[in-house]
Amino acid sequence: MTSETLFHVQQSERQRAGRLKDRIFCCTVAGCLAGGADAVRDAIGREVEQRGLGAEVEVSGTGCMGLCSEGPLVRSSASDSIHTNVIPSDAPAIVHGSRPGALTPDHPFYAGQRRIILANSGHTDPERIADYIAAGGYHALLRAVTEMTPEQIVAAVRRSGLRGRGGAGYPTGLKWELVARQSSPVKYVVCNADEGDPGAFMNRSVLEGDPHRVLEGMAIAGRAVGAHQGYVYVRGESPLAVARLRTALDQARREGLLGERIFESGFNFRVDLRIGAGAYVCGEETALLASIEGKRGQPIPRPPYPPERGLWNQPTLINNVETFANIPTIVEKGGDWFASIGSPSSPGTKVFALAGRVARAGLVEVTIGSPLRKILYDLGGGVPAGYEFKAAQTGGPAGGCIPAAHLDVSMDYDSLQSIGTMMGSGGLIVMDTSTCMVDIARYFMEFCREESCGKCIPCRAGTVQMHDILARITRGEGREDDFLMLEELSGLLRTASLCGLGMAAPNPVLSTLRHFRNEYESHIREHRCPAGHCRMPAVRVSTEEVPA
Amino acid sequence: MNEIKGPTETKGPEKLLEEVMARHHYSGDALIEILHAAQLFHGCLSAPLLKEIARKLRLPPSRVLGVATFYHLFRFTPPTKHTACICIGTACYVEGAADLVEIVRRNGWNLDAVRCSGTCGLAPLVVCDGVTLRRATPAKLEDYLRSAAGPV
């Protein structure tokens, strides 16, 4: 594809869309599909056909529109509104435009969001590359290849202040610079799409809803650091994401947007897929690289870091899906524009997967630094009536809990760290008073125990010991010295583990010990679970009433 | 890259697997892809099958077995007739997924668990033979399992 064809496709695609009276977008991402979105789409398609509106109304699939708990969602572009809880029999009313109760962009769930990564969701069909181009896609790649030097691209990313969205928050520009500086002729770009945190579905939704954005980001990265080969390492548990990526890759190759001589320049960039086989530890970068090489996904000690020696011992740039998804916008609008959004120390937006005991669950994209209260109450609609907020969990098994006292915390990397949790990849799970925090700590420890790769002893044995203690406490057999033992083991895992999995495994325990120590005390001293969740034998008669 | 399809009448699983290995140039780097394909075509990874893959890829059998047993998605016994996959991701756990496990066991279904199926807005989630039950409750699941299993 040349630059002229790119503009031509964009023009003709826009004209085609302009001739349509309405374009009806049906969410075709995992959440809504589980709720029967396929049948809804078929019904609307049939309705359009039966009424002979085929020339004026188009029915398309689209990416995640966010409000997953009220899916299947259907968006009408004519009225710019979103229908919720759609069933197939709603098709006539939707095509006619008379179904009441559709949400408009000023609905609190949408008004509080700032969409950069999810900008195309609800507006383009992830299975049509022309849609992505019409929305301005691959224009950033064109600029990066024809107008910018690799140094200029790296400088733009540095200026943007973008930090890695996988959880650790390492400055992306610095990482790019490190890889670009290596003199090796062979380098790799790897997209970490092994989103394994339980309760997190941001990356999966981006891949299912806008796969070209990620591929474009990777190609720009390849140009910036001097790599000609990229890999997307995607979770095997997300078959739809794999399928959408395959489709997108085929299209981009066919259009010459990936492959040899992109935009008739000397720049070549191929992307291949690698499908994971279910191992949480493969989200750790060195384990991920081992897995791409067809080995057991076990981490190796760093340094050397992958930017120096990574895949097949060559310099390798590894970024998360969401990090790459930010790149096209940064190249197009400039680093300074991006740096002006969000908080100065962590600019940009972050996608959170809001779930648990909250009225409106789903995917939200907000500027970094938004207060937690705004996300939970304005966007999420708060905790449903009859329940009481207890804590929000971020960062999955490596993160911690935010208690009610910190509801106004600014959701950015540093503020979250200061209260003992972390941004993580974006899972945000709301818990009410019926959730036992000791049991949640046990749940995450069980997860880490199961997922520990077994290479280093602190993690392999430490998670077993910590889980045993926590399980004992939830059975009502806790001992006074368990506090000390948990803290000691936590310190050991943090300092002596080989990789991030083991180092972060104690975080949920430390965080719940910090904010909910009283619950541990009730379990151990009174053999009582304040949340009424843990079933314990009545060993000791307590004078206090046991809640039902 | 075409989507990998299961065995058909004209092509047996051995032939299909051979094609996948050839496409990857019998390279050890592609071991995980090849294991994925082998499981898809044969239903599970049996010991003779793993040995055969090792021979074809010129890898030590220990390496092939080591990789296959490391990852959760590979199985070594044939799948059973009915499988219920319960999501035990955080959102589903908080919403009571643990109570559903017992129900599946009691109904004699094969129990599978996934750490997060990425559909947290509809927690808790159970996938029974490919059919998704959202916001599952013990009663709802019990009813479904009984009606779906039919006469054995």
Q: Could you give all domains of chain A from N- to C-terminal order, each with its CATH number? A: 3-104 (3.40.30.10), 136-339 (3.40.50.11540), 342-432 (3.10.20.600), 437-526 (1.20.1440.230)
ipTM: 0.88
Mean pLDDT of A68-94: 94
Asked if A204 has any chain B CB less than 8 Å from its own CB, the reply is yes
pLDDT value at position B117?
75
Predicted confidence band of residue B121 (pLDDT cuts 50, 70, 90): confident
pLDDT value at position B82?
84
Q: Are the C-beta atoms of A204 and A245 separated by less than 8 Å?
A: no
Predicted confidence band of residue A394 (pLDDT cuts 50, 70, 90): very high
pLDDT value at position B151?
42
CATH class (in words) of the domain with range B83-149:
alpha beta
A103 Cβ contact list (under 8 Å, min separation 6): A67, A81, A82, A83, A84, A109, A110
pLDDT tens-place string over residues A258-297: 999 999 999 999 999 999 998 999 999 999 999 999 999 9
Per-residue pLDDT for A139 more than 60?
Answer: yes
pLDDT value at position B118?
73
Cβ within 8 Å, pair A236-B36: yes
Cβ within 8 Å, pair B90-A71: no
Chosen for mutation from A296, A312, A447 (greatest number of chain B CBs closer than 10 Å) is: A296
Cβ within 8 Å, pair B116-A199: yes
**CA A297 → CA A173, A437, A475, B18, B57, distances in Å?**
27, 31, 34, 25, 19
Asked if B75 has any chain A CB less than 8 Å from its own CB, the reply is no
pLDDT value at position B7?
66
Strand order in the sheet with A81-83: A57-62, A22-27, A74-76, A81-83
pLDDT value at position A236?
87
Nearest CA in chain A to B88: A198
Domain B13-70 has CATH 3.40.50: no
pLDDT tens-place string over residues A162-207: 999 988 899 999 999 999 999 999 999 999 999 888 888 999 999 9
Cβ within 8 Å, pair B1-A277: no
Per-residue pLDDT for A71 more than 70?
Answer: yes
Asked if A197 has any chain B CB less than 8 Å from its own CB, the reply is yes
Q: How many CB atoms lie within 10 A of CB A42?
A: 14
Per-residue pLDDT for A370 more than 70?
Answer: yes
Per-residue pLDDT for A537 more than 90?
Answer: no
User: How far is A411 from A424, CA to CA, in rounded Å?
Assistant: 11
Cβ within 8 Å, pair B32-A274: yes
SS3 A141: helix
pLDDT tens-place string over residues B45-97: 999 999 999 999 999 999 999 999 999 999 998 877 788 889 888 888 888 88
Asked if B112 has any chain A CB less than 8 Å from its own CB, the reply is no
Q: Considering chain A, what percentage of its residues have pLDDT values greater than 90? A: 90
Chain B residues 14-73 within an 8 A CB cutoff of chain A? 27-33, 35-36, 63, 66-67, 70-73
Cβ within 8 Å, pair A356-B91: yes
CA distance, residue A503 to nearest chain B CA (Å): 20
User: How far is A437 from A470, CA to CA, in rounded Å?
Assistant: 11
pLDDT tens-place string over residues A450-489: 999 999 999 999 999 999 999 999 999 999 999 999 999 9
User: How far is A311 from A288, CA to CA, in rounded Å?
Assistant: 9
> Which two structure tokens, joined as six digits, stand for B11?
């092509």
A34, A68, A278 ranked by CB distance to B71: nearest: A278
pLDDT value at position A234?
95
Domain edges within chain B: 13-70, 83-149
User: How far is A35 from A67, CA to CA, in rounded Å?
Assistant: 12
Dihedral, CA of residue A548, residue B90, residue A398 and residue A516, to nearest 10: -10
B28, B36, B122 ranked by CB distance to A31: nearest: B122
Tell me the helices (H) and strands (E) count for chain A, helix number first. 23, 15
Q: Which backbone phi and psi does A182 adopt, to 5 degrees?
A: -65, 140
Asked if A94 has any chain B CB less than 8 Å from its own CB, the reply is no
Angle between helices A139-146 and A321-333 (to 10 degrees): 70
Q: Fold match between B13-70 and B83-149?
A: no
User: How far is B53 from A548, CA to CA, in rounded Å?
Assistant: 56
Per-residue pLDDT for A240 more than 70?
Answer: yes
Residues of B in contact with A455 (CB under 8 A): none
CA distance, residue B134 to nearest chain A CA (Å): 7
Mean pLDDT of A56-61: 95
Single out the residue of A355, A64, A397, A126 nearest to residue B134, CA to CA: A355
Asked if B116 has any chain A CB less than 8 Å from its own CB, the reply is yes
Cβ within 8 Å, pair B116-A200: yes
